[in-house]
């Protein structure tokens, strides 16, 4: 059974808690890896691209194409006006 320490009636201040939490923490140096070794890793920056990916407009089905950024926060109950005219894409 775990024993609880008696409360002194005061909370730890934010600055003191952050100082204790971050004491000795240093940033991790980035590592360059070939693309085939990056599965499961987190990118620190967008890799440079020689050309746009995909190289052409593609879609699984015909329909209107919008940027995800233009739809951020939109839902069935909270629609947003589009900031640009959508493009029709043929599959």
3-state class percentages of the chain: helix first, strand second, coil last, to nearest 5? 20, 5, 75
Q: Where are the domains of the chain?
A: 52-91
Cα 83–Cα 85–Cα 89 angle in degrees, nearest 5: 130
Question: Residue 4 pLDDT > 70, yes or no?
Answer: no
Predicted TM-score of the model (pTM): 0.33
CB 88 within 8 A of CB 57: no
Q: What are the pLDDT digits (tens) for 16-45?
A: 999 999 999 998 888 888 889 989 988 888
Q: Are strands 63-65 and 87-89 parallel, antiparallel or unpaired?
A: antiparallel
Q: Which helix (H) or strand (E) holds 16?
A: helix 14-22
Length of the chain, in residues: 91
């Amino acid at each position: 059974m775990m024993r609880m320490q008696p409360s002194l009636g005061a909370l730890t201040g934010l600055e003191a808690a952050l100082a204790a939490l971050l004491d000795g923490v240093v940033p991790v140096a980035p590592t360059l890896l070939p693309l085939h070794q990056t599965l499961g890793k987190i990118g620190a920056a967008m890799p440079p691209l020689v050309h746009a990916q995909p190289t052409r407009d593609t879609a699984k089905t015909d329909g209107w194409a919008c940027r995800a950024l233009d739809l951020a926060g939109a839902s069935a109950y909270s629609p947003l006006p589009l900031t640009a005219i959508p493009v029709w894409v043929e599959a």
